Structure 1
């Protein structure tokens, strides 16, 4: 698998969220699929995407949700989640 850096993952998340309306969300797999185009590659990337999302949620750059609930970033090891702009979402980098 090609190595994708954490900064590349974070940049991709921010870009995908910026490309949608403010209230929209993205799936972590959207990020993984944007960074690698083969089936096995994006699946292998998912743990790293979730780890970066958790770190960004701790910094309030994004929120991690499941349904209407905002999740604790330390509790996202499994299950479907969505990523949304957080209160500290940067206007631009």
Structure 2
């Protein structure tokens, strides 16, 4: 099953819709949600999920955070979270 860019964007927004206001999701949560076998293979989706989050951030639909502080998606290194803008 091929996972497209739009699938990842929809998964990010869908997971955020099911969380409390102000809550965030980890890119791995998104990857696991869209991969047909959540135990294996989801790691290959980590970079595409981060790129999908960056596109949503560019449109103002989400923020990428590190330690709770918004960061530039292009410069973010290490663990990040995705949340709706405050």
> TM-score, normalised on structure 2?
0.90
| Structure 1: gaps of 5 or more residues | 88-93
Query: Aligned equivalents of 2:15 and 2:4: distance in 1?
Result: 17
State the partner residue of 2:70: 70
Range 21-30 or range 78-87, more displaced: 78-87
Tell me by how many angstroms 1:39 deviates: 3.9
In the other structure, the counterpart of 2:13 is 14
Q: Which residue does the alignment assign to 2:27?
A: 28
TM-score normalised by L of structure 1: 0.84
1:38 Cα deviation from its structure 2 partner: 4.1
1:85 is matched with: 84
